Structure 1
Amino acid sequence: MNSRKEQLAAFNRLLDIMDDLREKCPWDKKQTLESLRHLTIEETYELADAILDNDLQEIKKELGDVLLHIVFYAKIGSEQKAFDIADVANSISDKLIHRHPHIYSDVVADTEEEVKRNWEQLKLKEGNTSVLEGVPKSLPAVVKASRIQEKVKGVGFDWEHPEQVWEKVQEELTELNEEVKAGNKEETEKEFGDVLFSMINYARFIGVNPENALEKTNKKFINRFQFLEQEAKKEGKELADMSLTEMDVYWEKSKEFYK
């Protein structure tokens, strides 16, 4: 691994390159905070994919892309005389010190739960009017539900046992089934949302990340379906002309390779 001196030199090199690109490259010169936004979101998802795949080399590459965006935003901020990379680093450092009084002060927090509880209380003291204020509105719904539940848990609003949450899941499923049978579309949508929310809550209680779990299932389904397509093609068959029973033969076979 590189020494701290080498790490700082590498970061300084990136800052110098950013200065050059912003001055000389036609594409880089045109970028704004707004134009970079969607690209940053894309890069973040690519990093998330690499993490799920546990591909360390790809993670390194994607982290570089995300770091470039951070440096880029800071460069634009400095041009607008609003902030620079030092302000960005000092801002997060100050926040970390302030929100870790169990490390940098005399507050005691021996467990992860105590740390989270202190964190939420500190944010309220900083001026937040709600513990849910920090949940981004544009988060995907599954991630947002997880963050909401984690936030309210930080102030003690939570179930006590996984069994209670599972009972709630069963209750919501029953209510959903009743609305489906009644043919009430609007209420069915509401109850379906309640089922998903309660399942995400249950996932938290049993130590499962629902976003990761669903994405792994997505990838597994894609792999199995593409196997089905490839095997059918080898035999000169088109899926549209095959019966479900015929396709199911390949599907079952795919499970040997993609579990």
Structure 2
Amino acid sequence: MAGASDNGDRPPGGGPSDGLPEFPEEWGVIVIPDDLSELADEVAAVRAELHTAAPLNRWQRLADRPTVRRLRRLGGLLTHTPALIIILAILVTVASLFASAWPGPPRQPATQRTSGATESRSDQLPALDLIDSDGQSVSILGRLPAVVMLTEGCDCAALVRDTIAAVRSDIAILTVSKVRASASAAATGQGLLPTARTPRADGKTVTALQDPTDTLRRQLGLGAPDGTAAVVLVDRLGKIVRVHPRTASVETFRPDLSRL
């Protein structure tokens, strides 16, 4: 074995030989043997340190194979997929809740005026009990379908007669006024018309009712009497098909009778 490398071949002045940097001083003296077999002990010591771990068993060797490692990575990806789906579902649910709670543009009203004297409504006829000519309480919802005619201050005898002629036999006609039914009939000529207690030969029914507090007119949002009748057409389910606030002729609402 050659002697220690004491850097005896340095160039004059102590500079590095062959242009290479010197070894750090903390490494001490480095000896490079001519026969590398002399380093066998050092090599065996290093190999012993590298193999201090316990040998792999059969299952560990199987798990360490490349194919098994790829399968493990795929399984990890599949394990995270349900979590991603749940997170997306939660985000969609929260977004839909915000969308439903967010105020949208104002809706158009369901009730629209179709002409200057006629308006369509989709609400129900109020559940009121009025008074007939005999002083008995009468539920207006118990006589449907019906043409309800508010005749306060109206000379409506001709209109009532024309309405009787125009309606089917299953459609009731209810005339409503604030004053007593008998007085109203005498004042407007309706005394010549039969009441509900006087059956007509054609099977049609006309009932004169009293609304002392004018509740029906108020709940329907109708204006004060002006010499014409207010006509409300109601189907058999109590739904208001059409309201004519001012009517003097049956021709105004004749097209709507077929909808009752």
Q: TM-score normalised to the size of structure 1?
A: 0.15
- RCO higher in 1 or 2 (8 Å CA, sep ≥ 6)? 2
The structure richer in strand per residue is 2
Q: Which protein shows a greater Rg?
A: 2
The structure richer in helix per residue is 1
